[in-house]
Amino acid sequence: MLLITCPVTRTDELVADRRIRSIANHPTHLALRVDCPACGGVHVYRTGRRWEAARTRTAARAAAQASADAAAARAARVAVPA
């Protein structure tokens, strides 16, 4: 059994193993293609420590960039004479 959250309906669904369509082994994670009982679609779920670490790094980089952009925008506003 597998507990998934459907990205369409946002509901948690308990899914039987037979609904797993495929499992792909990647260097950073496993990707499971799952038939969703909530919406009838197929969703991909990825699991793995390295995948999570990569996502965390990407999110941290995006946050740092957004912070730098905001600081640059504030500096640009200050530089313009009123």
Q: Footprint of Zn ion on this chain (CB under 5 A)?
A: 6, 8, 36, 38-39, 41
Nearer to Zn ion, 6 or 32 (CB): 6
| Residue number with CB closer to Zn ion (3 or 79) | 3
Residue closer to Zn ion, measured from CB, 22 or 67? 22
Residues 20, 2 contacting (CB under 8 angstroms) = yes
* Minimum CB distance to Zn ion, residue 62 (Å): 26
In degrees, to the nearest 5, what angle opens at C-alpha 24 toward C-alphas 23 and 29? 110
